[in-house]
Amino acid sequence: MEGEQCKSLLQWLGGTSLFAGMDDAYLQDLCGIAMVVSYRRRATIFTAGDPGYGFYLVKEGRVKVYMISADGKEQILHILGPGEPFGEAPVFAGRSFPAHAAALEDCRLVFLPRDAFVDLVTRNPSLALNLLAVLSQRLRQFARMVDSLSLKEVPGRLAAHLLLLSRRQANGDELELELSKTQLASLLGTIPETLSRILRKLQKAGYIRIEGAKITIVDRQRLAELAEIGKF
């Protein structure tokens, strides 16, 4: 890893929330241990139980982290986009990946090997704090997810997801699903058939309008109530 290439990697790393605010000297070290790797759409990045020799940062593309049941059904835990880290759990505890990861699109990842990274963390308080923030944030997400899976019905989970998207996309009431409906079903803890029926039901009931992957929120108020109470 040399000259220009390394320099741009350094800048990119410095721009991620994980490494924000770190001294260039440290980023330099980081570049020394980082490896850029590519995966094709659908390729498996790691599998639950694999020993984790390091973790990843998404540079381009998107990645799903998921669990698989004995009979092959999948539950997506996270979708990661550019700048987001994943696979950190075995770096600090447990030594092996608790879940599977695969590329949703062709993607380019930065791999940070465990030992060198831990070393860097111990010498760099702000990196440690950033990491703690990332993990804490993820714990929150999980708490919401458990809440949602256990206390809300599918329409409620869907409503919550749509509202979340609309906050992220900030295109008024129009929004673009970022996942195929099959993947969205897996993220919401259900199956495509059920998702399909519920989208239709919400449309009939005047909450949303559907045109392929474009959804228009018709009645934000009621959608928010649905997300809140969790029952249709």
Partner DNA sequence: CAGCCGGGTTGACTTAAGTCAAAGATTGAC
Partner DNA sequence: GTCAATCTTTGACTTAAGTCAACCCGGCTG
Minimal distance in Å, beta carbon 193 to DNA?
4
What does 195 bind: a copy of itself, DNA, none (CB cut-off 5 to 8 Å by kind)? Answer: DNA
Instruction: Tell me if 144 contacts DNA by CB under 7 A.
Output: no
- 40 interacts with, out of a copy of itself, DNA, none, CB within 5 to 8 A per kind: none
DSSP string, 124-148: -HHHHHHHHHHHHHHHHHHHHHHHH
Among 5, 47, 126, 180, binds a copy of itself (CB under 8 A): 126
Which residues from 181-200 bind DNA, rule CB under 7 A? 181-183, 189-200
Concatenating the DSSP letter of every residue in 144-212 gives HHHHHHHHS-HHHHHHHHHHHHHHHH-STTEEE-SS-HHHHHHHTTS-HHHHHHHHHHHHHTTSEEEET
Residue 183 CB, nearest approach to a copy of itself (Å):
14
Question: Can you tell me which of 118, 177, 210, 224 binds a copy of itself, judged by CB under 8 A?
Answer: 118
Q: Cα–Cα distance between 170 and 82 in angstroms, integer?
A: 19
Residue 142: contacted member of a copy of itself, DNA, none (CB under 5 to 8 Å, by partner type) = a copy of itself
- To DNA, the closest distance from the beta carbon of 195 in angstroms equals 6
Q: Which residue, 220, 194, 192, 193, is CA-closest to 207?
A: 220
